[in-house]
Structure 1
Amino acid sequence: MTLFNIAFTNVRKNFSQFSMYLGSLILSVLIYFTFVSLAYTKSIGVIFEKWGIGGQGVFMAAAIVLILFVAFFVFYSSNYFTRSRKRELGLYSLLGLRKDQIGRIIFYENLMMHVMAVVSGIVIGVFFSKFFSMLLFRIMDLSINGGFTFSVSAILSTLFVFGLILIVTTANGYWIVYRHSMVELFKADVREKNPAKGSLTLSIVGLLLIGFGYFLATRSIEDSIFWTEDFFFSSMLFVLFGVILGTWLVLRFLFPYVVYKLFLRKSFFYNGTNILTLTWLRYRMKKTAGALTMIAGLSATTLTIIGALSSIYTNIISFAENSNPNSYQTAWSTQTQREKIYDVIRESKSHTLVYHDTADVYKGKVIDKVDEDLPAVDQRMDEFSVMGLSDYNRLARKLDNDSQQIKHLEDGEAIFLSPIGRFENKKRAHLWMKDPYTVTFKNNPTKYSLRIKDIYHHAVFNTDMVYSALVVNDRLYQEISQKTMPKHIDIFQVTNEDRAEVLDQKIQQIVGGDPYDYNRELSSFYSNYHMMSTLIGVIMYIGMFMGIVFFAATGSIIYFKQITEAVDERPRFEVLQKLGMSQKEVRTVIAKQVLPVFLIPLILGICHSVAAMIGLSVNILYSVGAPVVVSTTIYTVFFIVYYFVCVNTYTKMVSSGDD
């Protein structure tokens, strides 16, 4: 029998043992191939070029990062999988095979796994390419029908990347064979001779490191002395490595300390199957700490990536809607241009004119002295666009978007219209309302003192054309208008404004300028909204893929760790079952043994992620609550499902089948 036949027979007869490794490879190929296929898709390239956001460059840069994570994921899975088969490799040596022959068997097995994974991953990727492209378009909120994608460049890229990974994993298999003698291959991983008792002192040190890392991470970069230019790099390193070291100390010393204390409590120790669980945990703590630290870190990274990007996506999409309340705004449009705009709207079969209105605003400059030493977030506004109370109330009623009406304003009082989120407004309200502003207008010698009375969380003008709008009473507005040149705004509100690409181009041609570029004379809801939704949608989509890879890596580490331990623990459970332990009791013991591997890193990962998200909300002034809760809940549910899968697999591997 040839070495290839031995490898083929081994894979065929032990396919259930190879299935998880094969599943990890298929998932890796699917993720990478799908991601790269989208980068090569022409329709997506056209969209990126149209909006001028360089999306394909972002895709390709992310693909490089994705290669590194996928390579780590596959290498880690392969390493654990090969190590779990050390006894099998030792048997080959006992039967007379040379180490180079054993290495070739590993190569043939890896080759079969990679060929099946690459073929399956590409086929599944092509089959689901329409779904993934539609998902991307949905995230970008574009009405485009995604088709099936078959990219030769993506296939060649996938073959090249996983060919390199095959070489690396095979070399690792050779290294394991050549590094260990036949006796060492037959020996299972030895438990610690001296069970870990833990250390309360080192546990406290670990908790303090984590706590101080959280403290630094949740400080404002603009305000905290720890994030000044002199300490920024050192603070960043401490947050990263201090929290990792603290996590390891907690898992290495606090967890064993708690287990040891439970071990000493005889009423707990001799209760049911606790004697088996605690004994097993005591003799596995040292080896478990490193893996649990990695699982906690990957969980925190996954939750932070998904939570941060979903929060930013939600807030930016909300801002894009709130800051563009009008379908179209034109500045200084002539009567001829207005008539042409009317005509193209009337000719459109998909859109009808809801209303047309006009208003004049006056741009004012704040002349108050500014303390340039203050951080940017603590600076007050330096200019405003002033509008009248009557104009505001009229436009607010027409918008019908829960805009607040203003009943009365005294001279010198003003309402500030801010479409930015309530969270940021709450943070900056005291700066905006603290003192009156001294405002001057071009060619107007009068200085006006305006005090912001209240802040409304919406706008009646698109903010790319009329930014920082102040509403003042009509008497003051009339006084300003008599001495100042106005900025005349025409507003055209149409139906289906979020699907108005064709109409957008026609109106842009009338006004002049690039349909997908900034234009001082035209503000379009469609262009402004989709420029932001496309860019943030691409970033969100990339983050989603990264999150899947991190979750898969986390699951891979846990699964192969449990499989390795199941192989080592099979003789112990066989003895216990011969002594009368039922399969139900075996499952109970395994469930208790496996639970800390899932529960403790999950709790630590969630805590690390929450600290990171609090820091993000403090520094970008966006509310992150709802997206973080949703993403954390989904991640936890998947983690729980994975826990039960591992418990079932572990139980089947150690169970003799006799109840």
Structure 2
Amino acid sequence: MTFSQFAWNNVTRNARAYVAFFLCSTFSVSIFFSYAIFMFHPKLLNNELGMSVKAGMTAAEYVIFLFSFFFVLYSVSSFLKARKKEFGILTILGAEQTHMYTLIFMENIIIGALAIVSGLGLGLLFSKLFLLLSTEMTGLEGLNFYFPTQAIGLTTGAFAALFFIISFTTMFFLRNQQTMELLKGTSKPKTEPKASIFLSLLSVACIGGSFFLIQRDIGQTYLYVLGLGSIGTYFFFTQLSVFMIRILKRSQTFFYRGVNLLWLSEMAYKIKDSARIFFIITVVTAMACGFLSIVLSEDSQNKREFINKPFAIQYKSYDTLNSEWDQDVQRIDQILDHNEIAYDKIQYESVNVNFEEEASGSFAVTRLSDYKQLAGIYDLPNIDALADRELVLLNNSSSSFTDSGQRKTDGFRSYTNLTVSTFSFDVMMQETVTIPNIYDEQIVVISDQQYNDLYEQVLEVPKGRSSSAAVFYRITEWSNDDLPVEDSIESKVTGEINNVINQDLGFISLRALDFLQVQQTTSIFKFVWIFIAAIFSVSSISFLYFKLYSDLQADQRMYQSLSRMGLTEQEMSTSASIQLAILFFLPLFIASLGAIITVELIRPELAIASTIQSSLTVVLGYFIIQVVYFILIRALYVQKLKKAMF
């Protein structure tokens, strides 16, 4: 038997041990390959959206490859630890250190080659389905099947390099270990896990400091919360959790109740041994939940904004002093009339004025008649009439933000009168309102006659003069109760309008097109992160599986000894289930809490109104998947323990 045959026999005869590693590696290769098929699709080179999708896919490939590297590295190290006794026997039979390095290298290369071939085959098999799903989620049309030569080359080269590098690094896991140490393997007695009181208190301080900072606004608070939370989480698994178990063990009423003695004693070792893995799983899960929450929040907000927009078309001119400012408005009217679309048009004009009482900024002054049109739509304060030299000051919170990014609802300066040139106005009322489609922070409402007089005076000012107008089209036959699609009348007509607008004269917002554009963007990110989250989920479960497998023989020996002392199957099953539940759900709980808090903290930076519902949806989905994994792995694990008991 040649050395290569010996390596092949080792892989095939340990198939049960390697199956999870092989399947997860195959899954990673398959997803990487599927993204590469999408990334190199010729259709993506034909439009701007396609290039954006390609950029997203490229970023996803880096994430998948980086995570796959650490996943394979940990998997190999776990298997090597479980096979120490086997290596000890080989040493007794005369195998040298270089022989074992060569054996491990060849085994990893065999598994890597099989995973690459299987992943490519699986990816090709489902490539048509993947492209159809990609078309549905991203909105890109014409993604037909093609033979992905570039994708095959990239995937093969990337993962061949990955497995090759990992195979070389494995020699560091076994060097400088004596034969007796290898023969003892996992049966070597473990010392009682210890925890540092100082590091445990540091974990409490970091976690407590994170929750304290949540209530404060110190500028980019989320960075400090993220940093302290990460440090606190690491020391929670490595130190604080062990310290808490020691405290529980000192409580005799709790420790000696039921099977608490059994599972508490075991958990101290398992958590200490798996602390770094728990930390990695927590970080990975939090990252996946966080990004998915942001994507779903953006999607939900886009839908809310469409439903809450009463106007199908909004046009804003930044300079009505230009005699051609209303040419775009005329074009819009012509297209709507040509398509026989009935509409109501509301025109809001304003002139920017620098009052003497406020030198730091200008006010947008508008006429009362324009304001009344908006008041009927946005439930603004009712103003029947204004005498000469009287005004109403409105602080528009929809255009005002605090330093932390929150909408400003108070803190506006109060005025009793405002003066400009020969005009002096008494402030009859000052209110904070929300006018979503007006971007002026402070709006002054005066009578129509006073507005005309003031407007004429502003025209005489040689510098700094500016006047703007906003035109809103309300079209009753275009309902915003139902979300638009690309072939709807509103989308087609507003698309026609968008093609004739002169962007140099003003800015136009088209409700349906704006919604579809944001929807396409969020769909791309949703598409990317759903599959990345799937990889993280499967790989995290694989981490736990490998840990359980490496401890299986020791657990079987322990429960076999305890069964002779009277331990029943039910007690064993209860103890094992509690331990597995902690291993599966403790990292998920901490990751979910961290993701929800972090996403909510960065919400103002992203201009998202709410993230809680989306975050809870993602966490619930992750929890359901984790429960399924838990039920399956628990059944297999308990079954193996039962066989060892009798």
2:164 to 167, 176, 182: 167
- Counterpart Cα distance in 2 of 1:200 and 1:336: 75
- Counterpart Cα distance in 2 of 1:267 and 1:294: 34
Aligned position for 2:473:
491
1:204 aligns with 2:201: yes
Per the TM alignment, residue 164 of structure 1 is displaced from its structure 2 partner at its CA by: 1.0
SS of 1:362's equivalent in the other structure is strand
Aligned position for 1:176:
173
SS of 1:254's equivalent in the other structure is helix
SS of 2:591's equivalent in the other structure is helix
Aligned position for 1:561:
547
RMSD of aligned C-alpha atoms?
4.2
CA contact (8 A) 2:17 2:549 kept: no
SS of 2:343's equivalent in the other structure is strand
How far does the alpha carbon of each residue in 1:241-280 deviate from its partner, in whole angstroms, 9 at most, with x for none?
5433333333344333332233233343333333322332
Q: How does 1:566-577 map to 2 (within 5 A)?
A: 566-577=552-563
1:453 aligns with 2:431: yes
Cα gap change, 1:520 to 1:650, in 2 (>3 Å):
same
1:361 aligns with 2:311: no
Aligned position for 1:251:
237
CA contact (8 A) 1:384 1:469 kept: no
Q: How does 1:285-434 map to 2 (within 5 A)?
A: 286-316=272-302, 318-319=304-305, 322=308, 325-327=311-313, 329=315, 332-333=326-327, 337=331, 340-342=334-336, 345=339, 353=341, 355-365=342-352, 367=354, 383=364, 388-392=370-374, 396=377, 404=379, 408=383, 411=386, 412-413=391-392, 427-431=407-411
Q: How does 1:459-608 map to 2 (within 5 A)?
A: 459=436, 463=437, 467-468=439-440, 476-477=447-448, 479-480=450-451, 484=455, 487=469, 489=471, 491=473, 493=475, 495=478, 498-499=485-486, 503-511=493-501, 520=506, 522-579=508-565, 581-608=567-594
- Counterpart Cα distance in 2 of 1:419 and 1:483: 26
Aligned position for 1:78:
76
CA contact (8 A) 1:128 1:148 kept: no
Per the TM alignment, residue 455 of structure 1 is displaced from its structure 2 partner at its CA by: 2.5
CA contact (8 A) 2:88 2:179 kept: yes
CA contact (8 A) 2:135 2:141 kept: yes
Per the TM alignment, residue 152 of structure 1 is displaced from its structure 2 partner at its CA by: 2.0
Per the TM alignment, residue 290 of structure 1 is displaced from its structure 2 partner at its CA by: 3.1
Per the TM alignment, residue 294 of structure 1 is displaced from its structure 2 partner at its CA by: 3.0
Aligned position for 1:399:
none
1:632 to 619, 623, 632: 619
1:648 aligns with 2:639: no
- Counterpart Cα distance in 2 of 1:630 and 1:487: 42
Structure 2 unmatched ranges of 5 or more: 317-324, 456-466
- Counterpart Cα distance in 2 of 1:561 and 1:94: 27
Q: Aligned letter for 2:497?
A: I
Deviates more, 1:560-569 or 1:596-605: 596-605
Aligned position for 1:261:
247
- Counterpart Cα distance in 2 of 1:489 and 1:153: 51
How far does the alpha carbon of each residue in 1:548-596 deviate from its partner, in whole angstroms, 9 at most, with x for none?
3433443232221122111332222233345554443332221223333
How far does the alpha carbon of each residue in 1:592-640 deviate from its partner, in whole angstroms, 9 at most, with x for none?
2333323433333233333323422355563221111111222222233
Deviates more, 1:491-500 or 1:74-83: 491-500
- Counterpart Cα distance in 2 of 1:113 and 1:421: 59
Q: Aligned letter for 1:628?
A: S
Aligned position for 1:69:
67
SS of 1:358's equivalent in the other structure is strand
Aligned position for 1:91:
89
SS of 1:489's equivalent in the other structure is strand
Aligned position for 2:31:
31
After TM superposition, the runs of 4+ consecutive aligned structure 1 residues lying more than 6 A away are 369-372, 384-387, 414-426, 443-448, 469-473
CA contact (8 A) 1:3 1:105 kept: yes
- Counterpart Cα distance in 2 of 1:36 and 1:544: 16
- Report the TM-score when normalising by structure 1: 0.78
- Counterpart Cα distance in 1 of 2:584 and 2:422: 69
Q: Aligned letter for 2:163?
A: L
Per the TM alignment, residue 155 of structure 1 is displaced from its structure 2 partner at its CA by: 1.7
Deviates more, 1:203-212 or 1:113-122: 113-122
CA contact (8 A) 1:305 1:543 kept: yes
- Counterpart Cα distance in 2 of 1:427 and 1:405: 18
Q: How does 1:606-621 map to 2 (within 5 A)?
A: 606-617=592-603, 619-620=605-606
Per the TM alignment, residue 208 of structure 1 is displaced from its structure 2 partner at its CA by: 1.0
Cα gap change, 1:274 to 1:537, in 2 (>3 Å):
same
Aligned pairs, number: 611
Aligned position for 2:120:
122
Q: Aligned letter for 2:635?
A: N
Cα gap change, 1:323 to 1:163, in 2 (>3 Å):
farther
Percent identity over the alignment is 18
- Counterpart Cα distance in 2 of 1:596 and 1:92: 37
SS of 1:6's equivalent in the other structure is helix
Q: Aligned letter for 1:615?
A: L
Structure 1 unmatched ranges of 5 or more: 347-352, 373-379, 397-402
